Structures are given as C-alpha cells and as structure tokens.
Amino acid sequence: MGVDHLQDEPKLILTYPHKSTFNRIGFSSMVSLSFIVLWILNHLMSYNTDFSDKIIMAIVLVGAPLLVWFMGYYLFINGVKLEIYENNIVKYYTYGSRGRSVLHFKFKLEDIEQIKFKKRPFNCLKLTIKVRNPVFYGFHEKKLNKLMSVNLIADRKESEFFMQQMEQFQRQQRRMIER
C-alpha cells in the first residue's frame, strides 16, 4: 500500500479533452435551463386551463429527465479518467461526491481483455475496456474475480497513443513467452 503512494507521475492520462469548455457551457446551460423551465411553469400554473396543464406535464416529462441526463453526463466527464504508469499499472478513476475523482479500479495492462472504440463528436472516442480480475477500491481493497467493463471518453490522439502502448506491451509479452 505504501509503494502505491510513492509512484511517480503517470506516463499517460486519458480524460475528456474539452473539459473546461464543457464545464463553462454545460454548467451555465443547466442553470439557465432550470430557471427558464421554472419561470415557464410558474406562469402556466397561473392560467389554470386544460391546455396549460398539458404543457406543464409535457415540460416536466421531457425537461426533468433531460436535466437529470445532463447532470449525470457532467459528472461523468469531470470525474472519469484512466492513468497509465511506467510499471504497466493502470488506475481507473470515477466521479465521487462533490465532483472529485475517486480511485475505482486498479489493474495491470496484461489484464485488459478487449478494447472497443466508438467515434464521438469533437474529435473524441468512447473507449470500452474489458478488464479481467481488477482490484476494486470501494470501502476497502478487494480483488474481483470476474470480467469488468470500464468506459471512458478521450481524445483521439491520446487514444491512438494508448493503443500503440498496448500493442508494444503485447509484443513484449509475446517475446517473453517465446523465450
């Protein structure tokens, strides 16, 4: 446990590339959208007609889930990251309370079973990484004996560099097995 804290800086950090822009635009949009919806609902309640009641229900049924989705996406983008260290250790962080990144999984590069890519807008990729037997860091450290899936949105260039690192690591593993 003490050795983990003495590690140097990670050689690669995969995280959402446009975090600061999204924070400025996303947060102000969520706040302004909330006030606009509340203002419209307040004015529609004063009319007290069947049409205004239907509009209120439509706004609540569409606006509330949309707002909840934006809040969840905001937390996901701000908290999720993947750090790769020189000793082939990978740490996966997720969002915790108050928007801080909390260590969720720790595993080795050799534990990665599969990597899937999906193209996203703004020069991003969504990575879905399947990991065999990661170490879970919740209330206490626990080795999970199953296949877990890790999701992350990252910059395309960083993702390509990550794939090059994976290919290089796999070549090294094959050479060691052949010896």
pLDDT the model gives residue 44:
82
pLDDT the model gives residue 140:
82
pLDDT the model gives residue 98:
56
| Residue numbers of the chain with a pLDDT score lower than 50 | 1-2
Domain boundaries, the chain: 10-179
pTM over 0.85: no
pLDDT the model gives residue 86:
86
Q: What DSSP letter does each residue of the chain carry, written as one string?
A: -HHHHT----SEEEE-TTHHHHHHHHHHHHHHHHHHHHHHHHHHHHH--HHHHHHHHHHHHHHHHHHHHHHHHHHHHHH-EEEE-TTSEEEEEEE-GGG-EEEEEEEEGGGEEEEEEEEETTTEEEEEEEEESPEEESSSEEE--SEEEEEEEEEHHHHHHHHHHHHHHHHHHHHHHH-
